[in-house]
């Protein structure tokens, strides 16, 4: 079994790929789910103003993710600032979710309209965004290793 670390260029490529997958999951996948889920944007009982706010969040997350994807895909070890900026955009967007999760009791909010949980305790949205954040952190860390070695 080969336990050596991959060459730095391979680490950077894998790091960028993880960052791209993260942006797809936190920005584009979330937007698609919220746009078609009958408990979100398609919910007929929501007032139009609430739908506008959700649509705003969906569009902001998707546009931010697309910007991040562009930055990740065009980054090189010499332009690590692109990875940093793309990761910052994602971190800001996902931080909004985790802050909202902490403040949900204040607003009377819930994670899921149906009360769904995984493994008996974990709301799907928390798992989704935790995985996205972990992918972003791992990808950024791999890219950062390249910067340190350069």
The arithmetic mean of pLDDT across residues 47-59, rounded, is 95
> Does residue 2 belong to any structural domain of this protein?
no
Answer for the pair 146, 11: CB distance below 8 angstroms, yes or no: yes
pLDDT tens digit string along 68-108? 999 999 999 999 999 999 999 999 999 999 999 999 999 99
What's the predicted TM-score (pTM) here? 0.90
pLDDT of amino acid 97: 96
Give residue 16's domain range: 8-149
Collapsing DSSP to helix, strand or coil, 7 comes out as: coil
Return the structure tokens found at 123.
């709301």
Counting residues of the chain whose pLDDT is more than 70, the rounded percentage is 93
pLDDT tens digit string along 102-140? 999 999 999 887 888 999 899 999 999 999 999 999 999
The arithmetic mean of pLDDT across residues 3-19, rounded, is 83
> Does residue 142 belong to any structural domain of this protein?
yes
Return the structure tokens found at 43.
């919910």
pLDDT of amino acid 8: 72
pLDDT of amino acid 57: 96
pLDDT of amino acid 113: 78
Mean predicted lDDT score pLDDT of the chain: 92
Burial class of residue 26 (count of CB atoms within 10 Å of its CB; 0-12, 13-18, 19+): buried
> Does residue 87 belong to any structural domain of this protein?
yes
> Does residue 1 belong to any structural domain of this protein?
no
How many domains does the chain fold into?
1
Q: List, in order, residues 6 or more apart from 41 with CB less than 8 Å away.
A: 34, 35, 51, 54, 55, 58
Neighbouring C-beta atoms of residue 120, cutoff 10 Å? 5
> Does residue 3 belong to any structural domain of this protein?
no
- Please tell me the distance from the alpha carbon of residue 53 to that of residue 55, in angstroms, as a whole number: 5
């Amino acid at each position: 079994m080969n336990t050596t670390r991959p060459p730095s260029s391979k680490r950077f490529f894998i790091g960028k790929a993880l960052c791209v997958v993260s942006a797809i999951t936190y920005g584009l996948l979330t937007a698609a789910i919220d746009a078609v889920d009958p408990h979100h944007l398609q919910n007929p009982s929501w007032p139009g103003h609430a739908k506008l706010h959700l649509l705003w969040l969906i569009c902001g997350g998707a546009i931010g993710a697309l910007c991040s994807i562009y930055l990740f895909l065009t980054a090189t070890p010499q332009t690590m600032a692109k990875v940093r900026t793309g990761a910052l955009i994602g971190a800001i967007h996902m931080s909004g979710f985790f802050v909202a999760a902490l403040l949900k009791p204040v607003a009377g909010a819930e994670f899921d309209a149906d009360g769904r949980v995984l493994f008996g305790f974990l709301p799907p949205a928390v798992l989704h965004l935790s995985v996205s954040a972990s992918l972003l952190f791992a990808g950024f860390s791999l890219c950062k290793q390249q910067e340190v070695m350069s």
